[in-house]
Amino acid sequence: MAAFTLAHLSDPHLSPLPRPRLIELAGKRALGYINWTRNRYKYHRRDVLDVLVSDLHTQTPNQIAVTGDLVNLAMEAEFPLALAWLKTIGPPDRVTAIPGNHDAYVRQTRLHFAKSFADYFCGDENAVGPPSFPSLRRRGPLALISLSSAVPTAPFMATGRIGPEQLAALERLLETLSTEQVFRVLLVHHPLRSTNRMKWLTDAADLIALLKRHGVELILHGHDHVHSTVWIDGPERQIPVVGVPSASSIAHGHYPAAAYNLFAIAREGNHWRCDMTVRGINDALRVREIRQVRLF
């Protein structure tokens, strides 16, 4: 059986930033805007993102996951632009997108992501009421489970939180899936292991404990803007937790240039096989394969 391919990109931090209205530049957004106009605009480039995405399309993945931080300051005008961009990645049945902290940057627009991108994360089942997290989408052998860790935070903070309601619903969902032969992929913006109190997932310990009880096959995240693979305990074996650089970034400081990961997933006898290919841009803004890793 041919492998099912899942592409993962994250943190496009779309540019150019629309001109803010004066009323939008208060509190946290004012600081974020200064940071964008002084620094971040230099590192998150649309031409880089476009080169990376066009390479991704040549790989014709079966499914694409986008793990948050589509926008920057969560201004009203950023959301339609981000939706237009997401449509260029693919239709909602082939692309799953979850929010990052920048998509819920301030309280006023914290629900905009859910409204604008519902088609891109809603579960397969027609739930009563608006789509919510966690959601479950079945694609080929995958059970794609989306979480939201995106919450507004104080200035200089970029922490995330899942919350007890999502965790309880996730536990029920994983109990339901436990009798099925599906490859469970968990999407969450924040990494699970972080020592940075300004940026970490505040209830990561609860999520890690839940995953130790129920397990999934693979966890994908963004937020840190670096290549990362760590392993956490599952009920029977370890679970890879994989992060990618920002999809629009040039290399700067300790941040690598934009990249995405491709996972080839296939059933072999009684086991899953999962191979990861990392593709990223070089100094000449060309995309090439960086490495291949067999996760299991």
**Contact in structure between 127 and 114 (CB atoms under 8 Å):** no
Euclidean distance between the first and the last CA atom of the chain, given in angstroms as a whole number:
17
Q: Does 224 bind Fe ion (CB under 5 A)?
A: no
Least distance CB 32 / Fe ion (angstroms): 12
Q: Which token pair is 31? A: 């600081």
Measured from the CB atom, the residue of 142 and 204 that comes closer to Fe ion is: 204
Rounded to an integer, what distance in angstroms lies between the CA atom of residue 87 and that of residue 270?
37
Q: Does 90 bind Fe ion (CB under 5 A)?
A: no
Closest to 113 (Cα-Cα) out of 129, 131, 89, 126? 131
Cβ-based neighbours of 222, under 8 Å, separated by 6 or more: 10, 11, 67, 68, 69, 100, 189, 243, 244, 246
Pattern 175-214, Fe ion, x by CB under 5 A: ----------------------------------------
Least distance CB 36 / Fe ion (angstroms): 12
Closest to 255 (Cα-Cα) out of 290, 228, 295? 228
**Max Cα-Cα span within the chain:** 61
Measured from the CB atom, the residue of 14 and 142 that comes closer to Fe ion is: 14
Element (H, E) at 264: strand 259-268
Least distance CB 229 / Fe ion (angstroms): 18
* Ranges within 7-26 binding Fe ion (CB under 5 A): 11
Measured from the CB atom, the residue of 102 and 184 that comes closer to Fe ion is: 102
Measured from the CB atom, the residue of 217 and 224 that comes closer to Fe ion is: 224
Measured from the CB atom, the residue of 11 and 24 that comes closer to Fe ion is: 11
Q: Which of residues 101, 109, 116, 248 is near Fe ion by CB under 5 A? A: 101
Measured from the CB atom, the residue of 71 and 278 that comes closer to Fe ion is: 71
Least distance CB 160 / Fe ion (angstroms): 8
Rounded to an integer, what distance in angstroms lies between the CA atom of residue 91 and that of residue 62?
12
Least distance CB 225 / Fe ion (angstroms): 6
Q: Does 69 bind Fe ion (CB under 5 A)?
A: yes
Q: Does 223 bind Fe ion (CB under 5 A)?
A: yes
- Count of residues in contact with Fe ion, rule CB under 5 A: 5
Sign of CA dihedral 96, 101, 102, 105: positive
Least distance CB 13 / Fe ion (angstroms): 6
Q: Which of residues 99, 100, 215, 243 is near Fe ion by CB under 5 A? A: 100
CB atoms within 10 A of CB 31: 13
Least distance CB 100 / Fe ion (angstroms): 4
Measured from the CB atom, the residue of 112 and 223 that comes closer to Fe ion is: 223
Size of the chain, expressed as the number of residues it contains: 296
Rounded to an integer, what distance in angstroms lies between the CA atom of residue 67 and that of residue 188?
6
Measured from the CB atom, the residue of 127 and 198 that comes closer to Fe ion is: 198
Least distance CB 96 / Fe ion (angstroms): 17
Rounded to an integer, what distance in angstroms lies between the CA atom of residue 253 and that of residue 87?
32
Closest to 256 (Cα-Cα) out of 284, 292, 280? 280
Residues binding Fe ion (CB under 5 A): 11, 69, 100-101, 223
